[in-house]
Structure 1
Amino acid sequence: MNNFLFVAAENDAIANCKAGGMGDVVRDVPREIARRGDKVHVVVPAYSRLHHNGTFRTKLNFRLRGIDYSAELYVVAPKKEFENIIHYVIHHPEITEGGIAHIYHDDPTEPFFNDFIKFIVFNTAVAEAIKMGAFGELDVVHMHDWHSSALLFLKHYHPDYKVLKKMRYVYSIHNLAIQGIRPFYDNYASVNNWFPEVELDHGALKDPRYHDCINLMAVGIRLADAVHTVSKAYKEDVLLPSARPEFVGGESLEGDLQKANNEGRLYGILNASNYQNIRQAEKGLLYRNTVKALFRWLQDESKKYKADFLAHTGEKIMEYVSNKPKFIVSSVARLTEQKFYFFMRSPESFEKILQRLQQVDGIFMLLGTGDPDYEQLFRDMSYKHKNFIFTNGQSEDLIDSMYLETDLYFMPSLFEPCGISQMLAMRNGNPCLVHHTGGLKDTVEHMKTGFAFDGKTFSAKLADMVAKFDEALNVWEHDRPKWNRIRANAKKMRFTWEKSLDEYYEKLYLL
């Protein structure tokens, strides 16, 4: 039996520990490993809240900033029990929750200040737990994004953690754009402040642009035994320099990724979707679940400033309870540049889509929270356009209903390392309209399983987005047999963890 440790910022196998697709991966991959008879330990930060109903396992004592620290390791109950998987959280007062999904901090004036502190404390506690044997004799440590890569820094450079060198380290990149860049010196959230005893190898740790800073995403890429992008097409993208907004590629780390590729350490393996134990949703509850979510949000103190908008959305949705639209387009995502830059850059393109939708008595439903500028854009658009329903919050019941009852799922991501939403929509037999990039290239085929837009320049992409939307509606209006074939093909597609894990074992884990 092989023994694995997963180290991440998110884990959707436990309640209230997810902000994005990484949480799904950290939930699903251990289940597939356990199904094969191997053992998995999954550890995430407690964020001052996730340890409350946990079982205390051990104290973790270590030194940071030249002083003694003591963190606590807890075993916590998952949403669903699986044999051979144990879920842990690490609690320390400095591992605080942020405003983004109660996990990450948004530090606009000094990027990564708070997150750097909490993930340094977390990683050092994990290193101590490995050293103590809290997870047993490990064969593979699988880390996810920059939040876990300080483990590699400790393994390579910290005199107390030489014992970490024994096992194999795999590093998965979920979002290359968020890199965890902080100064080496002269700041509370700097490397030297937290590790004064470590002689810093600036050349091996520095950011390619800011030479006085560490880049923790780069540390993961440079020091892991295997580096993994979450789709084959995204691997090809990141080997090239970014030329925003036309193309988002290596984000200044293409040199490091090319080196990893030349050394045979870089692999593109597609994330997968879950086709078993699916949370069951009932058809016909779309509008009821929208209203229920709105009522719940109206009672939430933090949404009081949005009360007028929530009431406006409620009035809109009530019209559709008795007078159902003929076509529903939907989108569920965090409201960020990555997901909706096309709409932010060109609201008029989005308006053309809404006008075209109006011709077929259709509506566009968008659910999400995120960047305040994007939230404001969509609130303004909702006041302006009767057939645009923006639910500015998170609700699992409503998300399930949207995936179940939509006719076309829209995913205009500027870049997409893999994407899970298109897989969930296709699982329900809903064709997707996507930007032909990254993992969306690997999962959606134009006019076969869905629709895809592209272009050589940004304005060409915008024009093609509107044109392909029109094309999709034309198929639905005038060629229903073809539409039904595309739907059936989408539903038949299977992106399984079983298939992806075969590649993990062969290429990443070497087991």
Structure 2
Amino acid sequence: MNNFLIVAAENDGLVKCKAGGMGDVVRDVPRQISERGDTAHVVVPAYSRLHVGGKFIMNLDFQLRGQAYTAELYEVTPKKAFDNLTHYVIHHPEITAGEIGHIYHNDPAEPFYTDAIKFIVFCTAVAEAVRQEVFGSLDVIHLHDWHTSLLLFLKTYHPQYSSLKKHRFVYSIHNLAIQGIRPFDDNYSSLRNWFPEVDYDRDALKDYRYQDCINLMATGIRLADAVHTVSPSYKEDVLKPSRPPEFIGGESLEEDLKHADMEGRLFGILNGSNYKNIRTAQKKNIYRNTIRAIFQWLQEESKKYKADFLAHTGEKVVGLLNQPPRFVCASVARLTEQKFYFFKRSPELLAEMLERLDKVGGIFMLLGTGDPGYEQLFREMSYKHPNFIFTNGQSEDLIDSIYLEADLYIMPSQFEPCGISQMLAMRSGTPCLVHHTGGLKDTVTHLETGFAFDGETFEEKRASMLESFDLALHLFFNDPVQWKKIQANAKKMRFTWAKSVDDYYKYLYALPVRK
């Protein structure tokens, strides 16, 4: 029996511990491991809230900033129990909840300042737990994104944690663009402030652009035994330099990734999706669920400043109860540059799509929160266009209804390491219109399971997106046989975690596949 430790910032195996797709991976992979008869432990920060009601396991004592620190380890109850799978959180007053998903902080003046502090405390506590074999004798430690890469720094350079070198460390990249860059010196969240007694190789840790800083994403890539991108095509993308906005590739780390690839340490394995024990939604509830969500948000103090807009949206949706649209396209995502750059750069592009929809009695439903600039753009577009329904919030019931009831799911990501939304839409038989990049290349085939757009320049991509959108509308209204074939093909696609975790065992974990 193999013994795994999964370390991450998010875990959707727990209630209210997800901000993005990483949470889905950290939920599903350990379940697969447990179903194969192996043992898995998952540990995430408590964010000053997730430990409440948990079972206290022990205090973890360690040194930071030349001072004694004590963190608390709790076992917590998951959403769903599995044999040989245990969930933990680590609590310390400096591991605080942020604004994004009540997990990450947004520090505009000094990016990663607050997050670096809490993840330094978290990672050192985890290192101490591993040193004491709190999780037993481990075979593999699987880290996710820059938030956990400090464990590789501790293993490599900290004398207290040299025993961690006996474990195999795997590092998964979910978003290469977010790198956790912090100064080496002269800052409260600098490496030297937290580890004044540790000697380390600055060249092995530095950011190429800001050489007085540690790049924690690069640390993971450089020091892990195996490095993992969450789709094969994203692996190919990140080996090339970025040319924004036309192409997002290695984000200045392509040389590190090429080096890992040459050493046989870099693997592109597609994320899976869940096809059993899923939340079920009923058809014909999409507008009711929208109104229900709006009323709920209107009660929240944090949404008071949006009350006028929410009421404006509700008024639009009430009209749809009596006169449903002939065609619904939809999108669900955090409102960021990655997800909606094309619309932010060219609001005219979205306006043209809405005009085309208007001619056929169609609407565009967009659900999400995020960057204030993107929220403002979409609120303004909603006021201008009656058939643009922007629900500026988060609601699981409404999200489920959107995946189930939309006719076309729109996913114009500027780049996409893997993507889960297209898989969830396809699972419901909803074809997707996607930018032909990263994991979207590996999951959506143009005119077979959905629609794709691409191009060498922004203008070519913009024109290609409109062309593919026109084609989707044409097939829906004029060629129902072809449309239903694409729907059926999309619904039949299976991106299973069983297959993905087979590849994890073979390539990342270097273990025999257990089934």
Say whether the fold is shared (TM-score over 0.5). Answer: yes
Deviation at 1:377, TM superposition (A): 0.3
Q: Partner residue of 2:449?
A: 449
Deviation at 1:390, TM superposition (A): 0.4
Q: Partner residue of 2:462?
A: 462
Rounded Cα–Cα distance in structure 2 between residues aligned with 1:170 and 1:395: 33
Give a deviation string over 1:184-239, Cα, whole Å, max 9, x none. 00000100000000113111000011100000000000000000000000000000
Give a deviation string over 1:112-166, Cα, whole Å, max 9, x none. 0000000000000000010111100000000000000000000000010011111
Deviation at 1:360, TM superposition (A): 1.1
Q: Partner residue of 1:502?
A: 502
- The yes-or-no answer on 1:368 pairing with 2:346 is no
Rounded Cα–Cα distance in structure 2 between residues aligned with 1:189 and 1:256: 25
Q: Partner residue of 2:181?
A: 181
Give a deviation string over 1:371-407, Cα, whole Å, max 9, x none. 0000000000000100000001110000001111010
Deviates most, 276-285 or 346-355: 276-285
Rounded Cα–Cα distance in structure 1 between residues aligned with 2:487 and 2:292: 29
Q: Secondary structure at the match of 2:23?
A: helix
Q: Secondary structure at the match of 2:278?
A: coil
Q: Secondary structure at the match of 1:311?
A: helix
Listed as ranges, the matches of 1:62-461 within 5 Å are 62-461=62-461
Q: Secondary structure at the match of 1:267?
A: strand
Structure 2 counterpart of 1:318, which letter? Answer: V
Structure 2 counterpart of 1:317, which letter? Answer: V
Deviation at 1:25, TM superposition (A): 0.2
Q: Secondary structure at the match of 1:248?
A: coil
Structure 2 counterpart of 1:379, which letter? Answer: R
Rounded Cα–Cα distance in structure 2 between residues aligned with 1:315 and 1:419: 32
Rounded Cα–Cα distance in structure 2 between residues aligned with 1:376 and 1:72: 41
Q: Secondary structure at the match of 1:63?
A: strand
Q: Secondary structure at the match of 1:378?
A: helix
Deviation at 1:315, TM superposition (A): 0.2
Q: Secondary structure at the match of 1:27?
A: helix
Rounded Cα–Cα distance in structure 1 between residues aligned with 2:95 and 2:113: 12
Give a deviation string over 1:307-343, Cα, whole Å, max 9, x none. 0000000000000011111111010000000000000
Rounded Cα–Cα distance in structure 2 between residues aligned with 1:37 and 1:358: 54
Rounded Cα–Cα distance in structure 1 between residues aligned with 2:9 and 2:122: 9
Q: Partner residue of 2:45?
A: 45
Gaps of 5+ in 1: none
Give a deviation string over 1:329-368, Cα, whole Å, max 9, x none. 0100000000000000000011000000111101100000
Q: Partner residue of 1:487?
A: 487
Rounded Cα–Cα distance in structure 2 between residues aligned with 1:500 and 1:93: 37
Q: Secondary structure at the match of 2:352?
A: helix
Q: Secondary structure at the match of 1:455?
A: coil
Q: What TM-score, normalized by structure 2, do the two folds share? A: 0.99
CA RMSD of aligned residues (A): 0.5
Give a deviation string over 1:454-477, Cα, whole Å, max 9, x none. 011111101111111011101111
Rounded Cα–Cα distance in structure 2 between residues aligned with 1:7 and 1:93: 19
Rounded Cα–Cα distance in structure 1 between residues aligned with 2:231 and 2:501: 13
Rounded Cα–Cα distance in structure 2 between residues aligned with 1:331 and 1:257: 32
Rounded Cα–Cα distance in structure 1 between residues aligned with 2:489 and 2:174: 27
Rounded Cα–Cα distance in structure 1 between residues aligned with 2:280 and 2:232: 31
Deviation at 1:450, TM superposition (A): 0.2
Structure 1 counterpart of 2:441, which letter? Answer: K
Give a deviation string over 1:69-95, Cα, whole Å, max 9, x none. 000000000011111110000000000
Rounded Cα–Cα distance in structure 2 between residues aligned with 1:371 and 1:183: 25
Rounded Cα–Cα distance in structure 2 between residues aligned with 1:466 and 1:376: 23
Rounded Cα–Cα distance in structure 1 between residues aligned with 2:272 and 2:385: 36
Deviation at 1:284, TM superposition (A): 1.1
Structure 2 counterpart of 1:508, which letter? Answer: L
Q: Secondary structure at the match of 1:60?
A: strand
Rounded Cα–Cα distance in structure 1 between residues aligned with 2:193 and 2:58: 27
Structure 2 counterpart of 1:106, which letter? Answer: N
Rounded Cα–Cα distance in structure 2 between residues aligned with 1:270 and 1:161: 32
Rounded Cα–Cα distance in structure 1 between residues aligned with 2:302 and 2:200: 43
Deviates most, 18-27 or 457-466: 457-466
Q: Partner residue of 2:56?
A: 56
Rounded Cα–Cα distance in structure 2 between residues aligned with 1:166 and 1:320: 61
Q: What TM-score, normalized by structure 1, do the two folds share? A: 1.00
Q: Secondary structure at the match of 1:499?
A: helix
Gaps of 5+ in 2: none
Q: Partner residue of 1:15?
A: 15
Structure 2 counterpart of 1:288, which letter? Answer: R
Q: Following superposition, which runs of at least 4 residues in structure 1 exceed 3 angstroms of deviation? A: none
**Alignment: residue pair count:** 511
Deviation at 1:446, TM superposition (A): 0.2
Structure 2 counterpart of 1:510, which letter? Answer: A
Rounded Cα–Cα distance in structure 2 between residues aligned with 1:286 and 1:85: 36
Q: Secondary structure at the match of 1:236?
A: helix
Rounded Cα–Cα distance in structure 2 between residues aligned with 1:298 and 1:47: 26
Q: Secondary structure at the match of 2:441?
A: helix
Deviates most, 331-340 or 275-284: 275-284
Rounded Cα–Cα distance in structure 2 between residues aligned with 1:30 and 1:242: 33
Q: Secondary structure at the match of 1:502?
A: helix
